[in-house]
A and B are shown apart, each in its own frame.
Chain A
Amino acid sequence: MSEMSQPLVRHKTVQKIHLTVVQIVLTLFLITFLLPAIWMVSSSLKASTEVFAHPIVWIPERPQWNNYARIFEILPFGRFLWNTILVTGLAVLGTVISSVMVGYSFARLNWPGKNLFFGLMISTMFLPEIVTLIPRFMIFRELKWIDTFYPLIVPHWFAVNAVYIFLVNQFLRGLPIELEEAALIDGANRFQILTQIIIPLSKPVIASITVFALLQHYNAFIEPLIFLRSMDNWTMALGIRALNDTNVQNWELVFAAGTMMVAPVLLLFIFAQRYFVQGIALTGFGGR
């Protein structure tokens, strides 16, 4: 007995040391990894003299909350925030509704040409965005949609992001079909099945695509840059870029704007971490 347990004990000790080393290395690495973010938050509260101090000041002596107020005086960030919320909200709503419908059709219904369109859907995921961005600009220009929110919202009511359809499709394929068959025999139509059976069962995947779409539209940069012109229509992302261009020397203000834009996303992540991880594991897409 004791002869047997001796190497086992040694093995356990070795493993414990090994794990402790991994833990320490990871901790140091994580701190380094997050240093830019920590620096951003800390610098957003610095006085302008502290920003350029050597060695680096990590904790501002007197937090300058005023920095946050000042960015609202330089540019109408309240307006930008409202625009961002409006565009993001409507685009996400369209994404979720259209993706659930299309995903259901691909997963459960049979119609001629389905396989062709499924293949086309998958192939759009590999299409570089720039290829369609240029002609889309021309089309929206002809429609007189430039400098309106339509180019940022309308396409998303037509399930243009195949990733979300794919996510719904994958999820629905994992659901048992018996409930739907029973409902069909009871005389329910497809619309009733979708709204009364599928949607309640699909809450996890709907949550996943909602958080991903929220992130995507909140973070969007290039499309607002191309499609929006007047400052009244700018989103947060455009506001921060303008602040960065016009206040190159005022690092604390740029950092305050950055922190302000990150804060809601981090809150969302803390509450919805499960859905992020689930979504990525399900498709491998998501995030960026």
Chain B
Amino acid sequence: MDLPLRSVPSIRRNRLRDWTAGYLFAAPFIIGFFAFYAYPMGYSLWMSFQKWDLLSPPKFIGLANFTKLLQDPISRLSLYNSFYYTVLAVPLQLLLAFSLALALTQPLRFRDLYRGGFYMPILIPIVASAVVWQRVFHPEYGILNEVLGWFGIPPLKWLFDPALAKPAFIIMSFWMIGRMMVIFIAGLGNIPVSLYEAASLDGAGAWQRLRYITIPMMTPLIFYNMVIAIINSFQTFIPAQIITQGGPENATLFAVLNIYRQGFEYFNMGYAAALSWEFFVIILGFTIAQFYMSKRWVFYEE
């Protein structure tokens, strides 16, 4: 560039112009951040120390909401339900998505069609998929029991059985693995072919290539998908809100459904705010812990 020719004031003027333009263009986010994140979070923190039913004015009650949430058996159950769901759903989703991605990077016929097919359910609006799955699990007329019947498995009560309701939601979550799968497919395409060629020359079989090349090279994406999936699974509640309303016997009362109910159905706004902060801290803790542990198993190329 012809920097030496430019005078100093002009550079300063340019920088000032740059700043103005920078703030101007970033203004939507800066304003939006304060209006729709920072201020609401402060508001919510204030709310969590109030008793507020929206009918009478808010009343300061100190830490009462927080001591309540530690003892409230329903709130504790809702956290357990979300843990249960997340701990089982995420590893299975990862395994399924990874296997599919491996299969769909082979030179198959109509490969894009298969990829599109496995991705498709993600596009189905959540309400539509919820009302369909509600019936897929129907003990008498649902297709799941029908299909299981072909293999001689007697009909199960699924959403009507407290022991099977959460597993049913886990099965339903497999419908949403398309996003993970696409990320894995993109990652598999980025592994240098030369690595495989070198391994083959050294006599490595397909299994060894998977074990010593593919999986280590994919750990950053496995980690990434895992973090996102845990955050998402922990927040899942809309299907339960539509399909079971938290039942049977609160078996599908997930954490966010419980908060939603406390806030928007029972109008315990202060308590709901306190619960949402507890929930936030738990998710944050989990995410930080995962990043910390990732140093032991995620392999980054340098």
Contacts and interface: CB of A to CB of B under 8 A. Distances in A.
Interface of A: 19, 22-23, 25-26, 30, 32-37, 39-40, 51-52, 54-56, 98, 101-102, 104-106, 109-112, 114, 117, 120-121, 124, 126-139, 155, 157-160, 165, 181, 189-191, 194, 215, 218-219, 221-222, 226, 236-237, 240-241, 244, 251, 254-255, 257-259, 261-262, 265-266, 268-269, 273, 276-277, 280-281, 284-288
A158 B120 contact: no
A287 B260 CA distance: 23
Contact of A134 (B108, B179, B273): B273
Given A130-B256, A131-B44, A134-B44, A244 B30 contact: no
A111 B183 contact: no
Nearest to A111: B22
A258 B118 contact: no
Interface centre among B33, B146, B147, B287, by most chain A C-beta atoms within 10 angstroms, is B33
B19 A128 contact: no
Dominant secondary structure of chain B at its interface with chain A: helix
Given A36-B121, A190-B17, A255-B131, 4 more contacts: A22-B103, A98-B32, A120-B33, A158-B28
B121 A104 contact: no
Given A105-B22, A110-B15, A284-B183, A39 B143 contact: yes
Interface string B244-285: 000000000000100110011000010011001101100110
Nearest to B107: A19
Interface of B: 1, 15, 17-19, 21-33, 35-37, 39-41, 43-44, 47, 103-104, 106-109, 114, 116-129, 131-136, 140-141, 143, 146-147, 175-176, 178-179, 182-183, 186, 224-225, 228, 231-232, 234-235, 238, 242, 256, 259-260, 263-264, 269, 272-273, 276-277, 279-280, 283-284, 287
Contacts of A120: 33, 37
Contact of B273 (A135, A258, A284): A135
A158 B35 contact: yes
A137 B256 contact: no
Contacts of B36: 132, 136, 155, 158, 160
B228 A284 contact: yes
B3 to A, nearest CB: 12
A280 B32 CA distance: 25
21 contacts: A23-B108, A56-B146, A109-B18, A117-B26, A127-B37, A128-B280, A131-B41, A131-B44, A134-B259, A135-B43, A135-B47, A157-B28, A158-B31, A190-B25, A236-B125, A236-B127, A237-B126, A251-B141, A258-B131, A280-B179, A284-B228
A34 B118 CA distance: 8
Which residue of B19, B24, B32, B120 has the most chain A CB atoms within 10 A of its CB atom?
B32
A128 B235 contact: yes
A37 B178 CA distance: 15
Contacts of B256: 128, 130
Contacts of A134: 44, 47, 259, 263, 269, 272-273, 276
B176 to A, nearest CB: 6
B279 A131 contact: yes
